[in-house]
A = this chain, B = another copy of it.
Amino acid sequence: MEIREAVQRLGALAHETRLSVFRLLVRRGPLGLPAGEIAARMGISPPNASFHLAELARVGLVTAKRDGRSVIYSVDFAASLGLVDYLKENCCAEEAEPVVPLNSITRRKK
């Protein structure tokens, strides 16, 4: 995953309402939930839910499909796992290669 994509997805989850929505959808699994029910469960207005769901969809963490009058949102688990893997690899690998030539950038007089 590229850093831009990671930043966008992290940003999408970096909001309490959106993270809660996302967790709800994860628990729900592949079935997904209609937008209106998500709004009701979260206690937010349908426009607000739509706004946040659109952001989650924009960055690829959830997908939407219409079913009659409803729009069913569900998690894209591959994308979600991809983000977790990115963090694991880039943010917790303590024993990775050292950052090399310290003095090549800030030249300090010995």
Binding site for B on A (CB under 8 A): 3-4, 6-8, 10-11, 13-16, 19-20, 22-24, 26-30, 33, 36-37, 40-41, 75, 77, 80-81, 83-84, 87-88, 90-99, 102, 105-106
Contacts and interface: CB of A to CB of B under 8 A. Distances in A.
Contacts of A88: 84
A72 B75 CA distance: 40
A85 to B, nearest CB: 10
A3 B27 contact: no
A106 to B, nearest CB: 5
Nearest to A88: B84
Given A26-B91, A93-B26, A20 B40 contact: no
Contacts of A105: 37, 40-41
